[in-house]
Amino acid sequence: MAGAIVVGDYHLRKEDIDPIVKGFALQSYIFKDSLMIKNSKSWKDTYYRETAADLTGGTGSAVRGIPRGAAFPQGQVNWTKVSAYIEKYGMEGTIYYEDTITDEIDVASRTLLRIARAVTKAVDDQIYSEVSSNAGNSVTISAGYEWDSATIAQRNPIQDILNAIKLINIDNYDIQGQNGELWLNPTDYTNLLGNSSVVNAGQFYTKTVTKTGKIEHIVGLRVKVSNSVTDDEAIVMIPKISGTWVQVDPLRTKTTVDEGISWTVRAFELGVVQITNPNAIAKITNTQA
């Protein structure tokens, strides 16, 4: 029977399940590789978030124009202590012996794939949640000017994205020079893809939209699409600089074999998201969100 798995097939060998699950996982992570990866052995991770504003000399004590013989102005750098506890992510599935040799569906592969996706989506959901809630900049789209507005002439996603880039650049981050990213959900990606200013103006993107059916880069930003992105939101951010994934244990798997009955496959990892530079992130939101 086509697609059936027999006892002893490589899919069910303990030593091969780990790379299979990890292979599926690597294809499923969307946002994790946008963060710096930091290894840790502590259950509680602490770091210090530095104030983004440039130092000034204060009232009556400017950096420029120091009088002859006068004291230098004092610059005070401020930090905020931030702590978070490591979280465990995991999922397991059972592959029954009978299913591996009789079902017309490749039960083993589908189970491994869905286990990997469950863990990776939970990680990506949390990464998005932290990035969104800690964004240091925000762009609010007025009612009637949403990307899916009933009035087509009032849809202007390019300007909204440029406004987000502007805010990050004002905070002294060179987002376009540091491989900035644009995070969208599938609905807003479609709205962007179909916008006339994008379709008709090739300078905004790197490939012909109507030919390839997708946008890889727009106004210098790499586009990432995921259901983890909240409806009516979009994120513009600088990868690696914006945040860190503190990793205590990378994705691992464990297989328990009950001969003649089942194989139980478990996937798990331990880590936590830390947003280290909030002003390297801008959130675009509809007023009606």
DSSP string, 223-246: EEE-TTSPTTEEEEE-TTTSEEEE
Confidence (pLDDT) at 7: 38
State yes or no: pLDDT of 205 exceeds 90.
Answer: no
b/e per residue 210-229 (b: at least 16 CB within 10 A):
eeeeebebbbbbbbbbbebb
Question: How buried is residue 196: exposed, middle or buried, by Cβ count under 10 Å (0-12/13-18/19+)?
Answer: exposed
State yes or no: pLDDT of 151 exceeds 50.
Answer: yes
Q: How many CB atoms lie within 10 A of CB 65?
A: 7
Among all chains, which residue has been given the structure tokens 């962007």?
192
For residue 63, the number of C-alpha atoms closer than 13 Å in the C-beta half-sphere is 6
Q: Residues 186-200: pLDDT tens digits?
A: 999 988 888 877 766
Q: Residues 213-268: pLDDT tens digits?
A: 556 788 889 999 999 999 999 999 999 999 999 999 988 888 888 888 988 888 89
State yes or no: pLDDT of 1 exceeds 50.
Answer: no
Q: Show the tokens assigned to 105.
A: 């569906």
Averaged pLDDT for residues 85-98: 89
Averaged pLDDT for residues 48-59: 69
What are the helix (H) ranges across the chain?
14-28, 97-102, 107-133, 157-170, 186-193, 196-199, 209-212
Does the reported pTM lie above 0.85? Answer: no
| Pairing between β-strand 36-39 and β-strand 243-258 as defined by DSSP bridges | parallel
List the domains of the chain with CATH numbers: 10-55+80-132+244-275 (3.30.2400.10), 136-242+279-286 (3.30.2320.10)
Would you say 176 and 204 are in contact if contact means Cβ atoms under 8 Å apart?
no
